[in-house]
A and B are shown apart, each in its own frame.
Chain A
Amino acid sequence: MNREDNHIDQLTRELLQSAGEEPSAGLSLRIMQRIEKEAPLARRKVVVSADEEWKTTPLIVAGVVMYLLLAGCVVGYLFQPEIVDQAIEEMKDNFSYIVTICAIFGSLTFFAKLDRLIA
């Protein structure tokens, strides 16, 4: 913005400063009367329902079981690899289903938690 523009801007500002529209005297009273009729405000809270709390215990148990199974596999593979190999061989046909189901449940849990976190 150049100097000419600044000057016109300043002049316009001075002229318009006196031109604020005045509402009627009773407006603030009418606004407050309407506010008095409103329900009290409540801050938005993230409420954890009893249902959700109930869900967390099985989730923790399932997590512990998963880790125990994983640890069992690692230990078994280290000390008795032939038994683990045999077990894997038996599971081979159903392996794709197991991975798919685990991936679905894992994604669902992850995105549900993420959604709650963002909200």
Chain B
Amino acid sequence: MRMEEHKWIKDILAGDRHSFSYLVAKYQQMAFSIAFRILGNREEAEEAVQDAFVKMYRALPDFRFDSKFSTWFYTIVYRTSLTAHRKEPLFTDYNEAVSLHITPEEADNTASLLESKDRKAVISNVLNRLPADESLLLTLYYLEECSVEEIHQITQLTPSNIKVKLFRARKHFYETLKHLMKHETYAVL
């Protein structure tokens, strides 16, 4: 797969713009997820994704083939979205001393409340209710399956900071999910 991707990039560098559509098809959804997690607005996220693809196209001659293309591109998406965000810092320090621990039983019970047909809508709703930094980290780690090292390259957060924030985000994710289930908010979904 990586070889195929490198071939597309070489073709684009040789002047074949059609090959760029393969990169768009492969990465637009994840790029949109990252932008949407940061900006919280579909229109703004789509604008940011377009800008990020154009920036990536311009920077493609500088891409070093020894690194992972997805991580390099997600860094561009992340920075472009942050520039569009501007309002406040995305990552904030936590002051409250809350236990990060959740038991497997708690997680299982909460997850079992979900019916598969509603799952996508409910999970999206939960992610939308979480702070932007937490939903972004969950998206990168669990959905895109980025490693902590790759997230570090994208966000410039330290690996230990990423681990703590991921633990906290996961706890908040299950708390929010449980809260939604308890209050029968299916109607609003």
Q: List 30 A-B contacts (CB under 8 A).
A: A4-B104, A8-B170, A11-B104, A11-B108, A11-B111, A12-B138, A15-B114, A16-B127, A16-B142, A17-B143, A19-B123, A19-B124, A20-B33, A21-B33, A21-B37, A21-B124, A22-B29, A23-B46, A24-B42, A24-B46, A27-B49, A27-B50, A31-B53, A32-B24, A35-B17, A35-B54, A38-B57, A41-B13, A41-B58, A44-B62
The answer to whether A41 and B120 have CB atoms under 8 Å apart is no
The answer to whether B57 and A15 have CB atoms under 8 Å apart is no
Instruction: Closest B residue to A3 by CB, please name it.
Output: B104
B contact residues around A14 at 8 Å (CB): 111
The answer to whether B119 and A15 have CB atoms under 8 Å apart is yes
For the complex with contacts A16-B143, A36-B17, A44-B62, 17 further pairs of A-B residues with Cβ separation under 8 Å are A8-B104, A8-B107, A12-B142, A13-B142, A16-B127, A18-B123, A20-B143, A23-B29, A23-B45, A24-B42, A27-B49, A28-B25, A35-B20, A41-B57, A41-B58, A43-B61, A44-B61
- Does chain B have a CB within 8 A of A42? yes
Q: Considering the chains assembled together, what is the distance between the CA atoms of A41 and B17 in angstroms?
A: 9
A residues contacting the other copy or chain, number (CB 8 A) = 32
Residue picked from A14, A18, A42, most chain B C-beta under 10 Å: A18
B residues contacting the other copy or chain, number (CB 8 A) = 46
Q: Considering the chains assembled together, what is the distance between the CA atoms of A9 and B167 in angstroms?
A: 10
Q: Considering the chains assembled together, what is the distance between the CA atoms of A43 and B90 in angstroms?
A: 35
**With A12-B142, A21-B124 in contact, is A34–B13 under 8 Å at CB?**
no
Q: Considering the chains assembled together, what is the distance between the CA atoms of A13 and B145 in angstroms?
A: 8
- Does chain A have a CB within 8 A of B102? yes
Q: Considering the chains assembled together, what is the distance between the CA atoms of A8 and B53 in angstroms?
A: 34
For the complex formed, measure the closest distance between the CB of A103 and the CB atoms of chain B, giving whole angstroms.
36
For the complex formed, measure the closest distance between the CB of A42 and the CB atoms of chain B, giving whole angstroms.
7
The answer to whether A28 and B138 have CB atoms under 8 Å apart is no
A contact residues around B28 at 8 Å (CB): 23, 27-28, 31
- Does chain B have a CB within 8 A of A116? no
B contact residues around A15 at 8 Å (CB): 111, 114, 119, 123
A contact residues around B114 at 8 Å (CB): 15
- Does chain B have a CB within 8 A of A55? no
- Does chain A have a CB within 8 A of B103? yes
For the complex formed, measure the closest distance between the CB of A44 and the CB atoms of chain B, giving whole angstroms.
5
The answer to whether B142 and A20 have CB atoms under 8 Å apart is no
